[in-house]
């Protein structure tokens, strides 16, 4: 601009020219809702080629897309498989997007009964209103999945699983589920939040889509909320999932994506160390007076230890245990903790505890909770990066009469 020919108000309102001499070492935050076109013709071309060039951050944003591609790369790491990713506003948005990009009105979703409470609510309260039939079963029951897929084989189906399950940590054989699903033409979606792609990669075991709450381990610092959907099928991801995200407005935002990428840099270091801490604590808890039960996939006598051993490189940083035998025992224990934090999340650098029966799984039928070991005395622990002996010392003092 020539400031001798315009008014000062115009100079204030204009974007200053950025002098770019070298490339930034760290990716910048693209904090812009819109992107500029050099001409109408360029705008027309970009709008026609979507998803592609950038027009509006709800459609796509360079920073958000770069982080989504990084998570997709992690989910197929060690293979020649290609994958595509989207970042959403939350883990629940990721689950909803993953399900709705493969299922329409009249279709069937088959899932497990022992899911995260929020996922259960979504499947019970929202999907039926969209005429998607949700069928929850006990995957441990021999032949149950085959029977239900056979019964509905004439309809379009998808299977949604969460392994390890929240909060009792039961694991499912992902490869076996995917092989059976393929025989019936059903898609498989796996919530990989607890394991992360460092410990487990469902796409390489046959899954079609993976969902994450990036709020948890992927970011790992409790400073952002988000979700991710990763898939191998380009048409599903670039057309169906992207269109659903664009039109429902459940996309991520530039700042949360930037924070997520910052956390991803230490993901492998964090989750492996936290998993080692959790294994050590789980073994010590079994020897501790006042602990009546310990649930952890790494324990050799855990009910689904064989599945975890088959598909996980480490057994994760989540564990659950019963400090006593009643609701009052659990409440007293949690209230006496001094180092561990009572908080309704997981996957952060510090150790966090939650009481599922009165918090995350409050709205799950009590009889179903009991069936899957989610007793009134069960406490869930997300093991952090502290020295494990300090975590154990806090547990011991909270158990002391």
Catalytic residues, by residue number, are 58, 116, 191, 216
Dihedral sign of CA atoms 266, 268, 269, 273 in order: positive
Q: Which of 320, 319, 322 is nearest to 292 (CA)?
A: 322
Q: CA 294, CA 301: separation in Å to the nearest integer?
A: 11
Query: Do 285 and 394 touch, CB atoms closer than 8 A?
Result: no
Q: 132 is written with which tokens?
A: 């998607």
Distance CA 143, CA 200 (A): 25
Rounded-to-integer distance, Cα 298 and Cα 103, Å: 35
Pairing of strands 108-112, 133-137: parallel
| Residues 210/189, Cβ–Cβ less than 8 Å | yes
The DSSP output letter for 124 is: I
Compute CA distances 135 → 144, 207, 231, whole Å: 11, 19, 23
In angstroms, rounded to a whole number, what is the distance separating the alpha carbons of residues 93 and 211?
9
Measured CA to CA, the distance from residue 249 to residue 243 in angstroms comes to 10
CA dist., res. 323 & res. 243, Å (int): 47
The b-or-e profile of 79-105 (16+ CB within 10 A means b, else e) is eeeebbbbbbbbbbbbbbbbbbbbbee
User: Phi and psi of 27, rounded to 5°?
Assistant: -60, 135
SS3 assignment, position 67 = helix
Write out the two tokens for 28.
Answer: 């910048």
Distance between CA atoms of 104 and 308, rounded to whole angstroms? 32
Residues facing 135 on adjacent strands:
110
Number of H helices, E strands in the chain: 16, 12
Query: 3-class SS at 321?
Result: strand
């Amino acid at each position: 601009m020539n400031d001798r020919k315009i008014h000062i108000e115009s100079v204030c309102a204009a974007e200053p020219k950025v002098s770019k001499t070298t490339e930034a070492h760290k990716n910048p935050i693209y904090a812009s809702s819109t992107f500029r076109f050099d001409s109408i013709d360029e705008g027309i071309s970009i709008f026609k080629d979507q998803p592609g060039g950038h027009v509006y951050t709800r459609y796509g944003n360079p920073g958000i897309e770069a982080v989504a591609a990084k998570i997709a790369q992690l989910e197929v790491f060690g293979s020649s498989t290609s994958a595509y990713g989207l970042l959403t506003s939350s883990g629940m948005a990721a689950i909803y997007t993953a399900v709705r990009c493969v299922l329409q009105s009249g279709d069937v979703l088959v899932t497990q009964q022992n899911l995260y409470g929020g996922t259960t609510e979504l499947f019970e309260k929202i999907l039926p209103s969209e005429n998607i039939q949700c069928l929850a079963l006990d995957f441990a029951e021999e032949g149950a999945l085959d029977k239900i897929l056979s019964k509905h084989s004439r309809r379009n189906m998808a299977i949604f699983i969460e392994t390890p399950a929240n909060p009792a940590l039961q694991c499912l054989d992902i490869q076996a589920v995917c092989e059976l699903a393929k025989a019936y033409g059903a898609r498989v979606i796996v919530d990989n939040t607890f394991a992360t792609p460092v410990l487990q990669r469902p796409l390489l075991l046959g899954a079609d889509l993976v969902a994450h709450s990036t709020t948890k381990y992927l970011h790992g610092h409790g400073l952002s909320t988000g979700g991710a959907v990763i898939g191998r099928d380009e048409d599903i991801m670039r057309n169906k999932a992207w269109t659903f995200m664009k039109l429902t407005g459940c996309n991520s935002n530039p700042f949360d994506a930037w924070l997520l990428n910052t956390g991803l840099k230490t993901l492998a270091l964090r989750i492996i160390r936290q998993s080692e801490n959790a294994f050590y604590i789980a073994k010590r808890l079994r020897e501790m007076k006042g602990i009546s039960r310990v649930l952890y996939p790494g324990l050799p006598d855990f009910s689904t230890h064989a599945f975890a051993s088959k598909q996980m490189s480490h057994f994760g940083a989540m564990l659950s245990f019963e400090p006593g035998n009643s609701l009052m025992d659990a409440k007293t224990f949690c209230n006496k903790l001094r180092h561990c934090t009572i908080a309704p999340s997981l996957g952060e650098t510090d150790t966090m505890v939650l009481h599922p029966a009165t918090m995350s799984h409050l709205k799950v039928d009590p009889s179903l909770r009991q069936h899957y070991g989610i007793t009134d005395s069960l406490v869930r622990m997300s093991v952090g990066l502290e020295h494990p002996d300090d975590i154990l010392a806090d547990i011991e003092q909270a158990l002391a009469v």
